[in-house]
Amino acid sequence: MSIPNPLTAVRSHLLNDAGVLSLAGVRVYAGELPKTEASAMPRQAVVVTLAGGGGPASDVPIMQIVIDVTCYGATGLQATSLYLAARSALRTLRRDLAADSLLHSAVELSGPMELRDPDTDWPLTWSSWRVIASE
């Protein structure tokens, strides 16, 4: 029996969205940007990571997690366009069985913030979300 992973479920949900797919293709990643992808950057890609600050402990088999969604682009405008597509996909999330988890909802907590990665100088647009998923 596998343990449900809400990060891979959010990745799957984003990959199934036509808007995200049209901009980033299959460049949607959970956890980190693969090293093999770094040599082709900057270009449109999404990285979903855990950000801490989950919900209170409960006996109910529900996870409340906070994730960061970082959207990259060759330009700031490309990064923001991808953020808007990802935002649309996440705001409309309602009971989606994606990958190995049942996602219930996503609520934007903070963002968007247009930034440049301090190490690479790649343009990015960052946002933070609370995701509720079944365990």
Q: What's the whole-model pTM score?
A: 0.92
The hierarchical CATH code for the domain 6-134 is: 3.30.2000.30
Q: How far apart are CA 134 and CA 61, in angstroms?
A: 6
User: Rounded to 5 degrees, what angle do the CA atoms 98, 102, 108 make?
Assistant: 85
pLDDT tens, residue by residue, 50-79: 998 766 667 777 888 999 999 999 999 999
List phi, psi (to 5°) of 2. -90, 155
**In the structure encoding, which two tokens stand for residue 116, read together?**
């440049």
| Per-chain mean pLDDT for the chain | 92
pLDDT tens, residue by residue, 77-113: 999 999 999 999 999 999 888 877 889 999 999 999 9
Q: What percent of the chain has pLDDT over 70?
A: 95
* Domain boundaries along the sequence of the chain: 6-134
